[in-house]
């Protein structure tokens, strides 16, 4: 496994692979890797000759300075996990490499339209602009055949999908299923911020999502199901609910009546102590990769 810290070094290495006809799969990450990321690396390796993982904590996508400063930095440990997973190349750039003009400057603004205004967009102003910029940079730098993202950040995936289509990036995007702990908690780098007491409560979000999904499949009223779910989370003293929404998978706008179950996704975000947790569930699990 080779580690590159600069764009020219990475481009040179990948050009050599390409000259030999090798296909390249990219897994963009911010490090603090867990089994969810490792499953993406394994997918990248099984579908391509060369698996590249980028580790870069992108400052422009943090709308909260404390969240940025608290983001775990574990590059050495990450590399120890990446090697046995089959990763060939790790790209670990500095801020100067990624934003030579500085990241506080007036960077290009991306407007993804209404899908970026729903859900996370309401609580994390500027977040998707920062994601769009860094993912565009990574796609331009690596020029992968395929890029792999987790369904846990489903809104992010839909936005990157739009970015790739709108700017005609020659990459195939792959959305991979959420990897969960035994009790259902979606794996996340931010879970390390949970105290033992908070961790014991953390699976509530998945339980509420799963119960709501079952009720919708059973034909219960969307508004009733949504309100019950919100109540269950809000009444738990450990959680501070931001949103629980039952939405149309394409527009991400809340739905109040069910037309077709396969077009529905359920999203939740809540603070548990200092950790901001997000999760989602699809009624039709194949929908993620269809988009």
Site for ligand PAF, rule CB under 6 A: 28-30, 58, 61, 131, 134-135, 153, 156
Q: For every residue of 117-177, which 3-state class applies, written as one string?
A: CCCHHHHCCCHHHHHHHHHHHHHHHHCCCEEEEEHHHHHHHHHHHHHHHHCCCCCEEEEEC
Shortest distance, position 220 Cβ to ligand PAF, whole Å: 33
DSSP labels, 90-103? EE---HHHH-TT-S
Check if the beta carbon of residue 147 is closer than 8 Å to that of residue 25. Answer: yes
Minimum distance from residue 222 beta carbon to ligand PAF (Å): 29
Find, among 245, 246, 247, 239, the residue nearest to 275 by Cα. Answer: 239
Kindly tell me which of 92 and 134 has the beta carbon lying closer to ligand PAF: 134
Phi, psi of 259 (to 5 degrees): -100, -50
CB of 92 to ligand PAF, least distance (A): 13
Nearer to ligand PAF, 25 or 226 (CB): 25
37 is catalytic: yes
Active-site hit among 34, 37, 95, 104:
37
In angstroms, give the least distance from the CB of 30 to ligand PAF.
4
The residue (of 135 and 249) whose beta carbon lies closer to ligand PAF is: 135
* Closest to ligand PAF by CB, 148 or 239: 148
Catalytic residues: 37
């Amino acid at each position: 496994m080779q580690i590159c810290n600069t764009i020219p070094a990475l481009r040179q290495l990948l050009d050599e692979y390409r000259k030999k006809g090798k296909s390249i799969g990219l897994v963009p990450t911010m490090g603090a890797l867990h089994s969810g990321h490792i499953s993406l690396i394994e997918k990248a390796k099984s579908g391509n000759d060369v698996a590249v993982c980028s580790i870069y904590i992108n400052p422009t996508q943090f709308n909260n300075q404390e969240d940025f400063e608290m983001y775990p930095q574990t590059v050495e440990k990450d590399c120890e996990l990446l090697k046995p997973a089959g990763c060939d190349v790790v790209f670990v750039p500095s801020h100067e490499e990624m934003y030579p003009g500085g990241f506080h400057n007036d960077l290009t603004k991306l407007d993804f339209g209404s899908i970026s205004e729903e859900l996370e967009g309401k609580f994390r102003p500027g977040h998707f602009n920062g994601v769009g910029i860094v993912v565009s940079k990574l796609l331009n730098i690596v020029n992968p055949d395929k890029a792999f993202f987790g369904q846990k950040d489903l809104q992010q995936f839909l936005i990157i999908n739009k970015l790739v289509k709108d700017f005609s990036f020659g990459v195939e995007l792959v959305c991979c299923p959420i990897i969960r702990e035994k009790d259902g908690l979606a794996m996340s780098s931010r879970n390390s911020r949970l105290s033992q007491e908070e961790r014991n409560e953390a699976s509530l979000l998945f339980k509420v999502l799963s119960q709501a999904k079952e009720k919708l499949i059973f034909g219960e009223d969307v508004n009733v199901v949504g309100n019950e779910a919100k109540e269950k989370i809000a009444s738990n003293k450990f959680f501070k609910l931001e949103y629980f929404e039952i939405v149309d998978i394409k527009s991400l706008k809340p739905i109040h009546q069910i037309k077709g179950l396969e077009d529905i996704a359920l999203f939740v975000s809540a603070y548990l102590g200092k950790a901001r947790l997000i999760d989602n569930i699809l009624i039709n699990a194949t929908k993620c990769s269809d988009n």
